[in-house]
Amino acid sequence: MILKRYIEEDDDQIFDLIIVGGGITGAAVAYIAAARSLSVALFERKDYGGATSAATSKLIHGGLRYLANGELKLVRESLRERRILGNIAPNFVYPLPFLLPMYKRWKGNIWKMLAGMYLYDALSYDKKDTWDRSKKLQNHRLVPRRKTVRLEPNLKMENLRNSFYFFDYQSIFPERLTLAFIKSAAEYGAKVSNYTPVEGFIFGEGNRVTGVKVRDSFTGSEKEVRGRLVVNCGGTWADEILNLAAGKELPEHRVKRSEGIHIITKKIAGHHVVSLQKSDGGHMMIMPWRDHSLIGTTDKEYFGDPDDYRVSEESIDEIINNVNENFGRKISRSDIIHAYGGLRPLVDDQTKGSYETSRKYEVYDNANDGIEGMITVEGGKYTTSRSLAREVLRQISAKLERTLSDSVSDNLYLSGCEIRDMRQFMIRQHLNYTDFSRNTVEYVSRNYGTESRIVFQIARDEPLYAEVVSHDGEILAEVVYAVRYESARTLRDIMLRRTGTGTLGNPGREIIDRIATVAAELLGWDKKRREEEAASILKEYELY
């Protein structure tokens, strides 16, 4: 299907639900609500999944460290959702082995860690209940020192005792996974619109919210959209949206913001995640991703304006120092190919330290704040977004006084993910597209799933679009697909969230210009706009 921007449509429909925010939380709520036959409109002020949802470690995990806080319910929920996301988005979510080395001077109790591993296995008792047999996970095992060194020869060897080897999942492209939720919602009739900020609220009797005022960021056109209920899924900006509705600051809903950054280097570890304990007792990870190493994350509270956030020199140096102190292979700033960061929303009444704070969530009926007709979501993490959406729907059902049909979100594939057996799917793809390189077939097939046939057809229809523009085989046809089918409107959308051409660092001015030229032809940009777009993506690679 073609993803359209609702702000461009001439429509005065009254919706059951208006969702503010197009990150993973808003996308999941829109999907589940639309699948339950509610009429839904979703507005995102920038691009879908472009903020917190893009600044992840690209993991779908149970949250092993939350066991230390006794948060068994959150861990169990996360492990269940890990399995479900592996089922409904099989081309995006894959098993990934973890190596957790133990040292003689390890900060903590190794017996407690061992008990935690057994508990983690027990809480994921349904991990083998997968639609695709290749997604079944094994239990953890304790690996002796000699085998640990064979698995990861770049570990710091001094005082190395042994290691734990266990599995979680990796999401190979979180931005496209978020988009799959958006597209799934649209297939059920939801109206969605990126680059459409909510600039005000419409009120009826009793200070009840009855709609929103939105603006098209490109044309400046404004529109009033009416709805029976508004759901604030603003994530990092949720408190600002709520304050806009209230007309004043509501300190009891202040979002606690945690900064998390990652750096990307050439590959310095194996095909598993290496989880290392830092001197402060926290952990950092070296993760395999697209034949590179993804390293992070920082986890400290951020107090500034979220709109002013940028990756800092201090945070990058923190990661470099942690690698050099705890890993055998040293790195420096010159090894950094790319760095990215973002702010995670945390529930404000949780623990004082950002690292110790869990990723639980809260759903508030803002009638308690004097604003009837509005619900606000605070906190949460990517892995539990679908489960959070189901909780939101329970409150929506009560507010609308409607009995909603049963959820289907754990039983149906997401849009473009309708693949029962990934191994067989990939075999067929390689047989069907022998006119493309193996790398191209691998990359396009996994990141576009069943919709990859359209991408390949675009390239076959116009050989110019078969040109390869990245080391792992991406082609210009993906740029065409992003604009025609996926509502991409800027070069940053195309290179950072629809394709991966810009997510491994600066691909070079020649590639940027090739992509910008194709985008300009499709979107009608003049020379000045094309240069502005190229300058914008180049700014992404300025580290500090």
Closest-CA residue to 79 (of 126, 135, 28) = 126
Specify the CATH number of the domain 422-539.
1.10.8.870
Band the pLDDT of 379: cuts 50, 70, 90.
Answer: confident
Which residues are registered as beta bridge partners of 88?
none
- Does the pLDDT of residue 107 top 70, yes or no? no
For a pLDDT cut of 90, what percent of the chain falls above it?
Answer: 80
Same fold across 6-52+175-254+359-400 and 422-539: no
CA distance 495 to 231: 30
Domain residues of the chain, as ranges?
Answer: 6-52+175-254+359-400, 94-172+255-346, 422-539
pLDDT greater than 50 at residue 358: no
| Continuous H helices in 99-169 | 110-123, 145-151
Distance CA 179, CA 176 (A): 5
Q: Alpha helix (H) ranges present in 127-199? A: 145-151, 174-187
Q: What is the mean pLDDT of the chain?
A: 93
pLDDT value of residue 349: 52
Taking the domain 94-172+255-346, which CATH number applies? 3.30.9.10
Cβ within 8 Å of residue 107, ≥6 positions away = 277, 279, 281
d(CA 393, CA 360): 17
| Res. 282: pLDDT tops 90 | no
- pLDDT of amino acid 106: 61
Highest mean predicted confidence (pLDDT) among 60-69, 254-263, 441-450: 441-450
Q: How confident is the model at residue 415 (pLDDT cuts 50, 70, 90)?
A: very high
pLDDT band of 352, cuts 50, 70, 90:
very low
Considering only CA atoms, which of 366, 424, 114 is closest in space to residue 238? 366
Q: CA-CA distance, 450 to 92, in Å (whole number)?
A: 12
Q: How many residues does the chain have?
A: 544
Q: For the segment 386-405, what is each residue's pLDDT rounded down to a tens digit?
A: 999 999 999 999 999 998 87
Lowest mean pLDDT among 336-345, 402-411, 417-426, 529-538: 402-411
Give the right CATH number for 6-52+175-254+359-400 from 3.50.50.60, 2.40.50.140, 3.30.1340.30, 3.40.50.2000.
3.50.50.60
Mean pLDDT of 523-532: 97
Where b means 16+ CB within 10 Å and e means fewer, 325-361 reads ebbbbebeeebbebbbbbbbbbbbebeeebbebbbbb
CA distance 319 to 324: 9
- Residue with the bigger pLDDT between 211 and 249: it is 211
Q: What are phi and psi of 165, to 5 degrees?
A: -120, 120
- In this prediction, residue 356 has a pLDDT band, given cuts at 50, 70 and 90, of very low
Those residues whose C-beta lies under 8 Å from the C-beta of residue 293, and which sit 6 or more positions away, are 264, 265, 266, 267, 268, 269, 286, 287
Q: What gap in Å lies between CA 86 and CA 345, rounded to an integer?
A: 24
Structure confidence by residue, pLDDT tens digits, 297-307: 888 888 888 88
